[in-house]
Amino acid sequence: MEYIYSPQGVCSTKMIFEIENNVVKSLKVINGCDGNLKGISELVKGMTIDEVIEKLKGIKCGFKPTSCPDQIAKALEEFKKEN
């Protein structure tokens, strides 16, 4: 199932997930720190939603109260609520 999330408070503008049986099959992040987000996208492939949330939730970017990894966790929390 494709899930699209619009992150808040970060440089990235869209996160596109492919999720099957509570496992992240792929993640594409539009805008933001390209290399870092491509790396994170590869690392979360094959992880369960809960594993990704546990590892990424609460990470901050500089003085911002959130980050792209934190927004990935928030997106997956929203996905869980909706499904």
Q: SS3 string of the chain?
A: CEEEECCCCCCCCEEEEEEECCEEEEEEEECCCHHHHHHHHHHHCCCEHHHHHHHHCCCCCCCCCCCHHHHHHHHHHHHHHHC
pLDDT at 23: 98
Instruction: Place 1 in a pLDDT band, splitting at 50, 70 and 90.
Output: very high
pLDDT mean over 12-30: 98
**Tokens (6 digits) for 43:** 């690392």
- Report the distance separating Cα 68 and Cα 63, nearest Å: 13
CATH number, domain at 64? Answer: 3.30.390
Interatomic CA distance for residues 57 and 66, integer angstroms = 9
Cβ count within 10 A of residue 6: 11
pTM higher than 0.75 for the full model?
A: yes
Instruction: Please tell me the predicted confidence (pLDDT) of residue 51.
Output: 98
- Domain of residue 31 covers 2-82
Q: What is the pLDDT of residues 24-56, one digit of tens each?
A: 999 999 999 999 999 999 999 999 999 999 999
Number of domains the chain contains = 1
